[in-house]
Structure 1
């Protein structure tokens, strides 16, 4: 029978290659860490690590043992989580991924309120630039149509969009009165927003659709926040989600003005992506919390 603390010490040293770094990572004295490695090697009956170029690396036996060590530790974590499930205790590590449009402000607040309820959970938050193809745990909040993947896709709602500019820019260059007037203005684009399409279709409740062909953009960004910053700096006009603009205006009033308010750009759908099958209690708890926290402006048209 192996001591789990010894296995954790060995696995951590293999990953870092350094006793000093591992001791800091595990918050242990270096002497304690060395003793656990020696005790493990005594238990298995042979050395598992060798020193090379100021690094500790596994020898042939260490490579073999590490695979089993990792599996043993993984099973121990699963066993602990299964027991916690019986007592309805929400613990463990939760991995969250979010599109950059949500991660600043709103999503961070959702995570903080969740942790206030469940302070035994450790959360890792990643900014997602592409839809994940697969993930074994946690969730991903995505804006726009997700690519085909092996995850469950739950539609949460959508964001409507409009044309925005800075008031001083509009005062200087004129406020567009019709969609055709937009062709006379500099356009601040978002990478991927119109790729593969020559025109941008605007919609009006009475006049129908208008295929707009904005001037070729000399300024394009891969994040909504950077696109909004450029529009605020009077670099031109751009298509932005109304919900994001409203949140920006709460912090910086008067920096953006809606042009052609009766004309709408294409809506962006919002998706929740997570694995099929049985989910850990912490993941289920966060999903419920997130659904409870959805802004009313997202329309909340859900389709599981």
Structure 2
């Protein structure tokens, strides 16, 4: 039986190309790393690594052995997880992808609560502005906004964020408050990248919908936080979720003023996504934790009148494919 620690060290050297970096990763003396590799080569009966310039690279035998060493480590991890499942223990590695607009405040707080409750779970957190590919059973995503139809993932709608128009009071004092959506064409616009390039549809409870042709945005950003910063700096009017504005205004009151408050854009759905495969206990525990932590002021996922479509601003009955019981 191969020494599993030596297999870990061998694969680390392949990743880093350096025994020094591997020693740093494992917190071991470099001499210990070198000795464990030599012992492994003796056990295998072949030289596995050689130096090429300033990097350690695999020999021909090392390339062959790498495949089998990874298989051994993966099988060992699967065995550990299976035994953990039997013992009812929530543990292991969990990768979370979270839309950047949700990461501050609410999600950071919920992640802190989760790891305090499950101290044996190790989380890798990635923030995204584009929907990532989820290719592992231990990967969960919380997404804000549309999900392409071709995405084949299990999806659950957690809530919807209503949106309105906002500007800084100094900008409005200088340029004036718009009284109707048609007047937006005479204002400067701060666009979230790709959000309103084809125009903006606003809806009024009595006047119906109005399609606005927006001026070309002088500033386009790819993060909601940066869009809010640009609006607060007086660069123009922008479309923001009410929930995010409420959180921001708590710390910076008076910096965002609603414009045309009776007009609203289509809400953005907050969705939970994960591969459509049996999930490990840690993923299920996290999903249950998030379900119980949905903010009360997120719009409900359904209503007797249906929900506003993200694509065109029309009121429609939600697609049941996106609502998983």
State the TM-score, normalized to the length of structure 1: 0.96
Listed as ranges, the matches of 1:76-115 within 5 Å are 76-115=76-115
Q: Paired residue for 2:238?
A: 238
Q: Distance in 2 between matches of 1:61 and 1:109?
A: 48
Q: Distance in 1 between matches of 2:9 and 2:133?
A: 32
Q: Paired residue for 1:167?
A: 169
Following superposition, the deviation at residue 131 of structure 1 comes to 1.4
Does structure 1 conserve the Cα–Cα contact (< 8 Å) formed by 2:142 and 2:272?
yes
**How many residue pairs were aligned?**
302
Deviations 1:18-61 (A, max 9, x none): 11110110111212211111111111111111111122111000
Q: Paired residue for 1:142?
A: 143
Does structure 1 conserve the Cα–Cα contact (< 8 Å) formed by 2:17 and 2:55?
yes
Does structure 2 conserve the Cα–Cα contact (< 8 Å) formed by 1:48 and 1:60?
yes
Structure 1 SS opposite 2:25? helix
Does structure 2 conserve the Cα–Cα contact (< 8 Å) formed by 1:132 and 1:149?
no
Q: Paired residue for 2:40?
A: 40
Q: Paired residue for 2:222?
A: 222
Structure 1 SS opposite 2:94? strand
Following superposition, the deviation at residue 244 of structure 1 comes to 0.7
Does structure 2 conserve the Cα–Cα contact (< 8 Å) formed by 1:18 and 1:56?
yes
Q: Distance in 2 between matches of 1:26 and 1:151?
A: 35
Structure 2 SS opposite 1:293? coil
* Structure 1, gaps ≥5 residues long: none
Does structure 2 conserve the Cα–Cα contact (< 8 Å) formed by 1:98 and 1:140?
yes
* Structure 2, gaps ≥5 residues long: 303-322
Deviations 1:82-126 (A, max 9, x none): 111111111111100011111122221111111111111111111
Q: Distance in 2 between matches of 1:133 and 1:38?
A: 38
Deviations 1:224-283 (A, max 9, x none): 111111110111111111011001101111100111111111211111110112111111
Q: Distance in 2 between matches of 1:290 and 1:300?
A: 15
Does structure 1 conserve the Cα–Cα contact (< 8 Å) formed by 2:232 and 2:256?
yes
Q: Distance in 1 between matches of 2:63 and 2:251?
A: 54
Following superposition, the deviation at residue 129 of structure 1 comes to 2.2
State the TM-score, normalized to the length of structure 2: 0.90
Structure 1 outlier segments of 4+, above 4 Å = none
Q: Distance in 2 between matches of 1:211 and 1:175?
A: 19
Q: Distance in 2 between matches of 1:100 and 1:38?
A: 45
Q: Paired residue for 2:261?
A: 261
Does structure 2 conserve the Cα–Cα contact (< 8 Å) formed by 1:161 and 1:239?
yes
Q: Paired residue for 2:308?
A: none
Q: Paired residue for 1:155?
A: 157
